[in-house]
Amino acid sequence: MLPQIDIAGQQKLIEAKILIVGAGGLGSPASMYLAAAGVGSITLYDDDKVDLSNLQRQIAHATSDIGLDKVISTQQTLEKINPQVTVAARKRRLTGAELLEQVEIADVVLDCSDNFTTRFAINQACVQQQTPLVSGAAIRFEGQISVFTPGRNQSPCYNCLYQSDGEELQNCARNGVVAPITGIVGSMQALETIKLITGIGEPLTGRLLMLDGLAMEWRTLRLKKNPACPTCGDIAGKRT
């Protein structure tokens, strides 16, 4: 019924292949909304099992799923929402050649992970394969989201924003997060993905959207491509 999407847009969603890395606080709402929207193929990677402490924010899992692989629990949830979606559940970390292969296959990649190393590896693979990346993060009462479209619109990459030689990023497991923050960010990742697939609206390319949940304030930072970025800049281009 939305004129911006219509039948043609729905067909694009049906034909889309989405890669989601992380089946936790962000991956849960993102994958659930994408499945409900009619995305045809979703591939999930996560090497963890469902724990009682996850249930406060990881809404794809229930108490009965404790001890189950997160990707299997999420797969079962998505198939209940939309039995026509094809869900590939991979219980392992996505690294190396497999990462490059999966990123190349995907139309859009969602980074729903919570560790520094994985984020930079995903970003590098997306830059190399020229695959759009929707990156989200949540901690305490704060959230952020951005979209990186390598090779398009002078897009920066994740490495333009954060230095790979910095300290390990904080994560929810060590610092806590109020549950709705992950829901907000994960839902926005799904929305940005739908926009990218259907080609509607303005994606968050070149912008970092940050939420302060305690003050309920949004801030937007404009991001520029860094010519000296070791991943996507002139230096990286000369190396290749």
Residue 191 domain-assigned?
yes
pLDDT at 174: 66
Dihedral of the CA atoms 81, 70, 145, 79 (nearest 10)?
-10
Residue 128 domain-assigned?
yes
Q: Mean pLDDT of all residues in the chain?
A: 92
Q: How confident is the model at residue 239 (pLDDT cuts 50, 70, 90)?
A: very low
pLDDT at 175: 75
Find the mean pLDDT for residues 223-235. 87
CATH number of residue 85's parent domain: 3.40.50.720
Q: Which of 112, 172, 229, 232 is catalytic?
A: 172
Between 167 and 39, where is the model more confident? 39
Find the mean pLDDT for residues 50-65. 96
Q: How confident is the model at residue 164 (pLDDT cuts 50, 70, 90)?
A: confident
Residue 1 domain-assigned?
no
pTM, 2 dp = 0.93
Whether 150 shows a pLDDT value over 70: the answer reads: yes
**Residues paired with 43 in a beta bridge:** 19, 88
Angle, helix 96-105 to helix 116-129, in steps of 10 degrees: 50
Find the mean pLDDT for residues 117-125. 95
Residue 80 domain-assigned?
yes
Residues 6+ apart with CB under 8 A from 173: 114
CB 45 within 8 A of CB 15: no
Whether 237 shows a pLDDT value over 60: the answer reads: no
Whether 60 shows a pLDDT value over 60: the answer reads: yes
Residue 92 domain-assigned?
yes
Is 172 a catalytic site residue? Answer: yes
Dihedral of the CA atoms 167, 216, 192, 71 (nearest 10)?
60
pLDDT at 114: 87
The angle formed by the CA atoms of residues 203, 209 and 215, to the nearest 5 degrees, is: 145
Number of separate domains in the chain: 1
Whether 236 shows a pLDDT value over 60: the answer reads: no
pLDDT tens for 165-212 read 655 555 555 678 999 999 999 999 999 999 999 999 999 999 999 999
Residue 130 domain-assigned?
yes
pLDDT tens for 67-116 read 999 999 999 999 999 999 999 999 999 999 999 999 999 999 999 998 88
pLDDT at 39: 97
Domain span at residue 23 reads 6-239
pLDDT at 163: 82
Residue 170 domain-assigned?
yes
Task: Give the Cα separation of 150 and 148 in Å (integer).
Answer: 6
Whether 162 shows a pLDDT value over 60: the answer reads: yes
